[in-house]
Structure 1
Amino acid sequence: MTARDAMLASVTRTIATAYDAISVLAAGLATQAELSDRFVDAVDLLSSRAGRVVVAGVGKSGHIGRKIAATLASTGTSSYFVHPTEASHGDLGMITAQDLVVLLSWSGETVELGNILTYSQRFNVPVISITSNADSTIARNSTIALVLPKVREACPHGLAPTTSAILQLAVGDALAIALLERRGFSPEDFKTFHPGGKLGSQLLLAQELAHCGDAVPLLPIGTLMGEAIIQMSSKGFGVVGIVDADGMLAGIITDGDLRRHMAKELLGLTVDLVMSHRPRVIQGNLLASAAMELMQSQKITVVFLTNDQGQPTGILHVHDLLRAGVA
């Protein structure tokens, strides 16, 4: 076996080991009533608390705990991570009687978590533990113990936390998403916690990027094409929307429509004889990412925004989306 083959075999083995572990957990949830009931009870308990979710762990479990706390916080469940050592030196005061504690310990015997566990019992703070040992000190003293299957680590020595960390992370993600769905956490809510970066741009609404008011190229039915061409050029979108007597968008004229009707008498025609009927429109509360997908799939560069009555409220160009980082 070449060095390359050995390396590839190692990578494949590690990924396959993680996959097998996740599969065992998923199968357990589907077939073991006690395990599935505990997960349901955990979600019920998490959603019922008025305070915050306090996550704690040591070592690799601590790193996973920080990620779980961050995922909970970003999906509508107020949460933060407390380091067990700092908790023993004053940070226990951050935990209130309205909170809930989540402890991560693969062995269930992590000594550093002892003070948090004792404090939680003293002040009647519920504890959910994520461990692989049902008979451990932490599991036995938890309100709900989520006991994970004892899977093989990817490390050939069975020492480095690899597969176990992935299982803990999967459980944290599962709890966070279950809470998200129970609360009806919407894309608009998500945007509140993710205003920056690529994700923030994907969560923008079409109306936040659209041009409105006098910037929208609109003309009434019956207008001569000469004026329509001026409107198309002056507003800079290369299109003009045509509205009927009720102010509803009846059609749209594009460069393609001009080419199809190119003749000496074009300027004397009225817009309703040239326009394309039933143009593609969107509503302002559509996500910008969804607007981009629509425009790409329909091979259009401009789309009008309309209200529930079909009246145009704005116009959006693909360049507006690209400038905002939506792609």
Structure 2
Amino acid sequence: MPGNLEIAVLYEPSDNTTPPTDSSGRVRHKERRRTRTRRRWHGPERRQKIDREHVAEALRANGYEVSMYELSDESALLGLAKSKVDLILNMVEAYAGDDSLEAHVAAFLDLLELRYTGADPQALFLAQDKALAKKVFDFHGIRTPRFASVYRGKLDHVDDLEFPLIVKPASEDGSVGIDAGAVVRNLRELMERASMIQEKFDCAALIEEFIEGREIYVGIIGNDKPVALPVVEMDLSKLPDDMPKIAGTEVKWEKGSAAYEATRSAAAKGLGEDVMRRLQDTALQVYSALKLRDYGRVDMRLTPEGRIYVIEANPNPWLAPEAELAIAAGLAGRSYVELIGQIVELALARYAA
């Protein structure tokens, strides 16, 4: 029972809508700006400023005392050592605007022996390094697109690849660095795109075989016996004919564009029970392989022939009421308040074990 338990909602001040660049045009990190107006939901990781407010309201509706803690600077980070709350609901995606430090925040919470929701540092590191995560998938026999990873002329991994390919940053999310030009169909386009990714994002370029198919998301809730939620799909079928069917920046960030207006996330339709079960089973395998906990989301492609390819896993996915996880929870009969309450209960149970 909630009783007098106090939960702090921990968040960073970035508003998460556009990645800033330095004077050379290089993206330093993912610090997207959140807009202050409410927008309809189009896809995963499309953030709004008010997501933490929805979470706080849901926590209060569950009977918890709630405080808000902004991780604004080093002083705020060190101030966590004085925290006396019963649990931290971790919504942090970066520190000092640098999303590569997301896992470090969780590690700091561990050092302070503070209890928090969501993934631990190991899972956050694994999921953020997409090339490493794909190697883990391969080890566990989980189908993922064949790929190569290259940085400054050094190949970290290379499969035998066939065009078309999709080229993206190896350590970004939210479709940062992915647009209509990400899908390449010849060697010249590949070399130009890989060079641009390395220069602009200062990270390895992840080169994958492009999988034609449906964009599928499966949310997972739980720890010892995690449960896969109903399947959600982003419908890309109405994208302009000259655009590849991918959930790129045009779909997620360019409000008012034809791509933005043509896409929706909703319950996946027209899938047989066997396909649904295989998608959910695959998501559970990924959740276990990357050691996610409490909640997460797995992004996949489903081909017309029924083959499933895992694209990536998302620890601590967006918790707004219009996000895929909440959509899936609703399809399973859980209200938004119940979803947030269950995440808290799962975290508390872990620490009580």
For the criterion TM > 0.5, the same-fold answer is: no
TM-score with structure 2 setting the length: 0.26
Higher strand share: 2
Higher share in helix = 1
Q: Which has the higher contact order (CA 8 A, sep 6+)?
A: 2
